[in-house]
Amino acid sequence: GENVEQHPSTLSVQEGDSAVIKCTYSDSASNYFPWYKQELGKGPQLIIDIRSNVGEKKDQRIAVTLNKTAKHFSLHITETQPEDSAVYFCAAKIGGAGSQFYFGTGTSLTVIP
């Protein structure tokens, strides 16, 4: 199956700074890459996703970039705020509608006011 690695495992930034989380994947057939935010005691919440035919996608302060050649994708959060503090997970999917999703091990982001 797919192997998704995520770095760093913990990240602290000052409020207003940017945060970058990186993931690599092993299977070049992976074609869909979602990112999730998980707050304490809650389930993961989809925040942004990107498909393999797109290099970059933005949604307000959040952006995701994909480099298919290098098999890595990154989450960028700009102008961080304390409410961005959470655990972030990347994931990758191979194949069609009923396919499995493989998750990274998570990054605990702390935004210091």
Interface with other proteins by CB under 8 A: which residues?
1, 4, 6, 9, 32, 34, 41-46, 49, 51, 89, 91, 93, 97-98, 100-106
Q: What share of the chain is helix, strand, coil (3-state, %, to 5)?
A: 5, 60, 40
Whichever of 96 and 113 has its CB closer to other proteins, that residue is 96
DSSP, res 84: G
Distance CA 31, CA 84 (A): 27
Task: Name the residue nearer to other proteins (CB basis): 15 or 56.
Answer: 56
Instruction: Tell me how far, at minimum, the Cβ of 69 lies from other proteins, in Å.
Output: 22
> Which of 42, 113 has the CB closer to other proteins?
42
Whether 62 and 34 have beta carbons less than 8 Å apart is answered as no
